Amino acid sequence: MNTKARFSTERAELITDFYGRIRGVSAPVRRALAFKYLMENKTICINDGELIVGERGPFPKAVPTYPELCCHSLQDLDVISGRPKVPFIVSAEDREIYQKKIIPFWQSQSMREMIFQEMSSEWKAAYEAGVFTEFMEQRAPGHTVLGDRIYRQGFVDIKTDIEKGLQSLDYLDDPQAHNKGEELKAMSICADAIVRFAERYAEKAREITERESDPDRRKGLSTIVDVCSHVPKYAPRDFWGALQSYWFVHLGVITELNTWDSFSPGRLDQHLYPF
């Protein structure tokens, strides 16, 4: 609770590395592969005493950025770190990474800049005069409510449904078959990616267990290994697994894109009651 929020460049660096070398795939598959790269490479953090694991950033209250949507300027970083309400600590190293790596790559390539290039001069004048604000320039659509599917199915089951969808495509009579196929392939890649993310937490918990001397904590870590090896790959078996499965999905959503955290579990009481 006392930890101060910090600016983290980890996600920005990973996404820049990825887009700096990916070529020749469809937009859905490219985005799915970007998500896979994040899930395979972001820092795995398990904090002392916690039982439901998973951090948005490399450590508690480390806040990632999304330069592919809206690339912060060095002036933005000064505002973020110096504002009196809800400041985020920005280190000299963070500023240097942005100045030398992130900003040069995403200049004129971020979604925000592409949108602004298409807007009329009247729209820009009204925007800059403060007639209205447009949060969509900075983030992905939010205010989304999750259903109950992840409590009834694991991602292996979802992949089976995806495969059925791929097999049923009609490339002769459906002009959208190719686009549908690329979307389904992307879904399959993302399903594997979120499962791998959970497996990395199981591996980290197993590693910590080997050097933990406290028997109670060892027991908790052992359960974390078991739970993260099972969900979200398979449907949750109990209350602990159901909570952990939801949390992995939540982290996946807000790591892929900045939905302003408005990704809600919905009727979590009803979803968890059967467990």
Cα separation, 224 vs 218, in Å, equals 10
User: What's the pLDDT score for residue 75?
Assistant: 97
What mean pLDDT comes out for the span 259-274? 88
Whether residue 141 has pLDDT greater than 90: no
Q: What is the pLDDT of residues 100-128, one digit of tens each?
A: 999 999 999 999 999 899 999 999 999 99
Measured distance CA(42)–CA(251) in Å, rounded? 11
Residue 234 has pLDDT above 90, yes or no: yes
Rounded Cα distance, 101 and 12, in Å: 9
Question: What is the pLDDT of the chain when averaged over all its residues?
Answer: 95
Please write the tens of the pLDDT for every residue from 62-92: 999 999 999 999 999 999 999 999 999 999 9
> Quick one: pLDDT at residue 262?
77
Residue 16 has pLDDT above 70, yes or no: yes
Q: What percent of the chain has pLDDT over 90?
A: 90
Residue 261, pLDDT score: 61
